[in-house]
Homo-oligomer: A and B are copies of this chain.
Amino acid sequence: MYQALKNYLAKHIEITDEELTSFCSKFKSKITKRNEVLLKGGSICRHMFFVNKGCLRVYLVDKEGRESTRFLVPEGRFGTAFPSFILQEPSQAYIQSIEPSEILLLTYLDFRELPNILPGWEKLYRINLEHDYIASIKRIESLITMSAKERYELLMKNNPELIQRLPSKIIADYLGISQETLSRLKSKK
């Protein structure tokens, strides 16, 4: 059950089996159905998620009910409604599992205890943050400098597996364009 998480840690830091076990014991497992909602907008996000299998989607819903995807979290990655989780304030975003998934959950309190449990955690977490932040900078740049078509081509180049795997509706609102526009981009070229 904790294999993917263990691999993830072992790949990034020096860690004993004991530490690994006590680290993993903080996580609770959860099986989710397709489209199951794990966090509703307006409530405080109490968990950090690690995706064992499946895929999470962090998304926004506007007053007219239109959705935009903030992040996608495929297996082997951590994810949460970051602003809400870190600041422990109500979330703008929703979280759902867009596929039947197997998720590990870590509470906020346990998350804040990790540096004490696992000496290497602080550094690992920081490096993760740096990379996530860099990824978000790249995304901002793609949004302010590129056309819808260019952004789609970039995603296709960097994450072809996501495009194959997810409904194009979700790809569209991740790119910040309408479903119809994406459909036309695909057929045009």
Q: Give 8 closest A-B pairs by Cβ, nearest first.
A: A144-B176, A143-B143, A136-B136, A133-B133, A83-B134, A129-B129, A68-B144, A68-B145
How far is the CB of A9 from the nearest CB of chain B, in Å? 18
| Bound form: Cα–Cα A87–B138 in Å | 14
Per DSSP, are chain A's interface residues mostly helix, strand or loop, or mixed? helix
> Apart from A62-B145, A86-B134, A144-B176, what are 10 other A-B pairs with CB-CB below 8 Å?
A68-B144, A69-B144, A70-B137, A70-B140, A87-B134, A129-B130, A133-B133, A133-B136, A140-B143, A144-B173
Contact with B along A134-160 (1 / 0, CB 8 A): 101111110111000000000000000
- List 7 A-B pairs, Cβ < 8 Å: A70-B137, A70-B144, A82-B133, A83-B138, A129-B129, A136-B140, A140-B140
A92 interface residue, CB < 8 Å from B? yes
Residues of A within 8 A of B (CB): 60, 62, 68-70, 82-83, 86-87, 92, 122, 125-126, 129-130, 132-134, 136-141, 143-145, 173-176
CB contacts (< 8 Å) of A174 on chain B: these are: 144
Question: Would A137 and B176 count as touching, CB distance under 8 A?
Answer: no
Contact residues in B for A129 (Cβ distance below 8 Å): 126, 129-130, 133
What B residues does A176 contact at CB under 8 A?
143-145
